[in-house]
Amino acid sequence: MNLANKLTLLRIVLIIPFIIILKLSQGSLMLKSIAFLIFAFASLTDYLDGYLARKYGMVSNFGKLMDPSADKILVISAFLVFIEMNYIPAWMVIVIIAREFLITGIRSLAASDGHVIPAGYLGKVKTTTQMIAILLIILIGKTVYNPYIMIIPVFFTLLSGWDYIKGSLKYFK
């Protein structure tokens, strides 16, 4: 197992302490800070594992599958905890989760025909805006501004989903 794949696995492992600490963080600046740092570090491993894989030829089938899966689990876990804490509206997270299921389904269909559909630029923007929104919401806690913060990642979720669907049509003609 190469270093890039180890970083992907580390991101998955960090989800558990992140969720626990985030849930316990209400009213505690120290726990909120720890949750913020764990999420920030996990988000940085997303960038770092991709960089290492491309730069040093560590691209693997494991990484192609698990890296985006680790991102989705990390981000969706945070959003679900935010719903539980009444920080953000559930419909916004439903849009994000629905897009992920739809794109995963399209990828699976394409793969069954021998095609690999790579992540596009807008997908990377989507993930980045989601991670930034999560960090901002951890910092500010429960406010009336949280749904407004979520508008940008929801927008890029929809836009990247549409772009992905358009780009994948050539595989299904």
Residue type, 115: H
The confidence band for 112, taking pLDDT boundaries of 50, 70 and 90, is confident
Angle of helix 90-112 relative to helix 61-84, nearest 10 degrees, comes to: 160
CA separation for the pair 137, 153 (Å, rounded) = 13
The closest of 81, 55, 38 to 3, measured between CA atoms, is 55
Q: List, for residues 44-92, the tens digit of each pLDDT value.
A: 999 999 899 999 998 888 888 899 899 999 999 999 999 999 999 999 9
Domains and CATH numbers, the chain: 3-172 (1.20.120.1760)
Mean pLDDT estimate for the chain: 93
Does the pTM exceed 0.75?
A: yes
